[in-house]
Structure 1
């Protein structure tokens, strides 16, 4: 059964999910951040079936998150490296890691982000780079952008109305 495509939706979350929203794809990107590049190394690290890996790598290349480069002429072999677009996915993975540690690791975190200078664990936060202020639900809100179509504007207003009702 083929899933619905989010390609035509204006929502940036839906568009991001279209390109990297499947679990295997996110784990492949995670491993690419660790420096894994070769097919056999992805198979070993992930325990993924080769046919599934082939499909996900093809999709990530088509989405512009990975670049396929030959590293051996005979036999012809390729490695997969993060593109700039793929490297920009790192904060998403770090946020997912922090969320998973906070809510789904009753035994405690198994993987931490640490400061390489001090060795201390980092507490991840989203901040507005212009002001340095931490992003909070009370101070910040989602609004329709300048290129939003009418449907997107209606959806954002609908969601914000529900958010306002929750605050009361």
Structure 2
């Protein structure tokens, strides 16, 4: 069972990243609208096979989202999944909540695509900065994995994207 994390978890992730001396930089191949440049995923900075595997799981979730594969995306979620969005009181609880939210967002914003611009992995925590197209809204998501499943996400997005997602819940 996943215990509910405290408000310091994002600070903890940041501190763990800084402790490793990892620097975050915006890197995206302008000729490829879907995938990040190899250096954007921190290929040289992923120090272990488990960190590379953690990033691949998150990348699969983004790929499933962009392919409109709600079932594929929710299959990557832990049964105790919690999804939180910055400055939103309610959280998604479990794969079924996530499935309903994704379907609703997809119906309302059918052209929405998320492009990974950079990513950083520390252990089972993955920080991804992304760009939502066609709106050009940027945001980031911190993902915590448990047993090769997505257990918790914290998403930070500007008001114009966040308000749309919140009204669809």
**Structure (1 or 2) with the larger CA radius of gyration:** 1
Structures share fold, TM-score greater than 0.5: no
Higher strand share: 2
Task: Give the number of the structure with larger relative contact order, counting CA–CA contacts within 8 Å between residues 6 or more apart.
Answer: 2
TM-score normalized by the length of structure 1:
0.27
